[in-house]
């Protein structure tokens, strides 16, 4: 019996030893230098290296193809216009003076002799933009001569209005700034490409919007504030602003929604640009560029002769021919707007009538305003986009007058903990004056959510990727 137990014990020990040996062998096979895990890791590393190499090879091939495409594209503004080439990749070209601009993928050069005069590009749908050159640090905000004043009324930049740019509710506060993320990316793009693009026209309503009207639908009532500010989609399709001549302005919109739809205008890889609502830096850069031109000397201080303003009537005939326009009334008693009669096609005189009575029988067309009401109306006219060459500055239309234009510049009026966000508008409008509210004018008096005002519009800018 003891002998059998001894044999059993020896067998157990042998079994354990064998198991330990096998375990060691298994561990070595799995975890050893040449084991399964090590082999798998090496295989992964080789695969990663192979993928990386393939990606590099593909990248080189893409770069070679893009370079080949660039070489086959026009080299000058004149050639690009003559050929009508739609650029397949981003490419720098020269004007006849030797200055350069970057034409983005998906666009063609439409018109313009020199960059200083304003070169226009267009996409396949006819949206137009103007190149703004930024040399020697030109892309920057305007520095006011008087940095901090209590500008609760229109305040000039200096002792008199001939010295600079006017503001209201702007220099009173010190926390204004452009969107930080966009600002960083914008500066990179400008530095890499030598400039940016600004929409040739104020933002227009797209034809697929249910509040779109033109001369063919002039009997359609001009839509109210709610439809324009809250309707951002139609049948699941995002509405995108357009930059085209003779188009209904996209007004009655808040800064928040103007910023949203501006960013949707160009997305994906079909175009070599990123779109956004114009910011304060871009607006200042454009105004500085324009005002340095001797043809527009003093435009930053008085834009009366280059915009649809309330004081344009009798001083400058802005309108040259029949065009699309809308009439608005302001009730001085209730301090409310009667937004639009109908969009019309015809000839009118820019400016306003201070004492205006609704014509008999047309009360319904003025949203219920009646000629029998005992109050005074101010009568204003909104022009469609780009309908007069008198409003053109370096091939850019209506930066002065017609619409106050929202920008991304925002602040909280001295309290960053406040939930009330204010946004800056620029350039004057059809119910302001060209002498007090020139193209440089900066206003910070309303919140970013304000809509329903017929003189509030916006403009898109493009930064080359």
d(CA 274, CA 263): 8
- pLDDT of 325 reads 84
pTM: 0.82
In the numeric block, which tokens belong to residue 65?
Answer: 């193809």
Q: How far apart are the first and last CA of the chain?
A: 90
The kind and range of the H/E element at 285 are: helix 280-291
Report strand pairing: 460-464 vs 392-393.
unpaired
The pair of structure tokens assigned to 299 is: 């435009």
Of 271, 202, 204, 215, give the one whose Cα is nearest residue 242.
Answer: 204
Residue 323: per-residue pLDDT? 78
Burial 64-73 (b: 16+ CB within 10 A, else e): eeeeeeeeeb
Predicted confidence at residue 35, as pLDDT, reads: 64
Q: Other C-beta atoms within 10 Å of 166: how many?
A: 24
Cβ-in-10-Å burial (0-12, 13-18, 19+) of 78 comes to: middle
Q: How many contiguous H segments (helices) and E segments (strands) does the chain have?
A: 7, 22
Residue length, the chain? 465
d(CA 168, CA 417): 23
The answer to whether 331 touches 375, Cβ cutoff 8 Å, is: yes
The series of mean pLDDT values per 10 residues for the chain, 465 residues long, is: 58 73 66 64 71 64 57 90 95 96 97 96 97 94 89 82 83 90 92 97 90 62 54 65 94 92 90 97 97 93 90 63 79 74 71 66 60 65 89 95 97 75 95 91 94 92 97
CB-neighbour burial class of residue 307 (10 A; exposed 0-12, middle 13-18, buried 19+):
buried
If one counts every other C-beta atom within 10 angstroms of the C-beta of residue 239, the result is: 21
Question: Which helix (H) or strand (E) covers residue 130, if one does?
Answer: strand 128-133
Beta strands in 52-122 (DSSP E): 91-94, 100-103, 108-111, 120-122
Given this model, what pLDDT does residue 15 score? 77
């Amino acid at each position: 019996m003891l002998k059998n137990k001894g044999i059993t014990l020896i067998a157990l020990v042998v079994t354990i030893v064998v198991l330990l040996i096998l375990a060691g062998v298994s561990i070595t096979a799995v975890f050893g230098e040449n084991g399964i895990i090590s082999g798998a890791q090496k295989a992964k590393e080789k695969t990663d290296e192979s993928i990386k190499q393939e990606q590099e090879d593909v990248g080189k091939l893409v770069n070679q193809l893009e370079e080949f495409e660039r070489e086959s594209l026009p080299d000058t503004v004149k050639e690009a216009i003559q050929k009508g080439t739609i650029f397949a990749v981003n490419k720098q070209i020269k004007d006849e003076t030797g200055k350069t601009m970057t034409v983005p993928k998906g666009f063609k050069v439409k018109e313009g002799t020199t960059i200083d005069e304003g070169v226009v590009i267009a996409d396949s749908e006819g949206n137009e933009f103007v190149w703004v050159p930024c040399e020697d640090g030109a892309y920057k905000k305007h520095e006011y001569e008087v940095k901090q004043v209590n500008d609760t009324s229109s305040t000039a930049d200096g002792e008199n209005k001939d010295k600079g740019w006017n503001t209201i509710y702007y220099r009173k506060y010190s926390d204004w700034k452009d969107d930080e993320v966009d600002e960083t990316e914008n500066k990179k793009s400008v530095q890499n490409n030598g400039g940016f693009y600004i929409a040739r026209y104020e933002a227009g309503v797209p034809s697929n919007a249910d509040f779109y009207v033109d001369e063919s639908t002039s009997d359609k009532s001009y839509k109210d504030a709610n439809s324009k500010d809250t309707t951002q989609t139609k049948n699941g399709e995002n509405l995108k602003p357009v930059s085209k001549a003779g188009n209904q302005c996209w007004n009655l919109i808040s800064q928040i929604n103007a910023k949203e739809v501006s960013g949707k205008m160009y997305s994906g890889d079909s175009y070599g640009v990123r779109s956004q609502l114009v910011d304060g830096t871009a607006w200042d850069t454009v105004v500085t560029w324009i005002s340095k031109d001797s043809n527009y000397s003093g435009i930053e201080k008085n834009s009366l002769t280059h915009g649809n303003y309330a004081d344009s009537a009798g001083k400058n005939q802005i309108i040259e021919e029949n065009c699309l326009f809308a009439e608005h009334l302001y009730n001085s008693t209730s301090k409310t707007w009667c937004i639009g009669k109908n969009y019309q096609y015809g000839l009118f005189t820019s400016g306003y009538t201070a004492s205006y009575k609704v014509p008999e029988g047309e009360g319904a067309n003025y949203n219920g305003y009646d000629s029998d009401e005992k109050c005074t109306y101010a009568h204003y006219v909104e022009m469609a986009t780009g309908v007069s060459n008198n409003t053109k500055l370096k091939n850019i239309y209506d930066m002065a007058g017609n619409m106050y234009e929202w920008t991304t510049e925002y602040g909280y009026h001295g309290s960053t903990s406040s939930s009330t966000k204010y946004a800056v508008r620029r350039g004057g409008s059809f119910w302001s004056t060209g002498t007090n509210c020139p193209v440089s004018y900066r206003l910070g008096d309303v919140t970013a959510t304000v809509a329903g005002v017929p003189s509030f519009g916006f403009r898109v800018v493009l930064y080359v990727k």
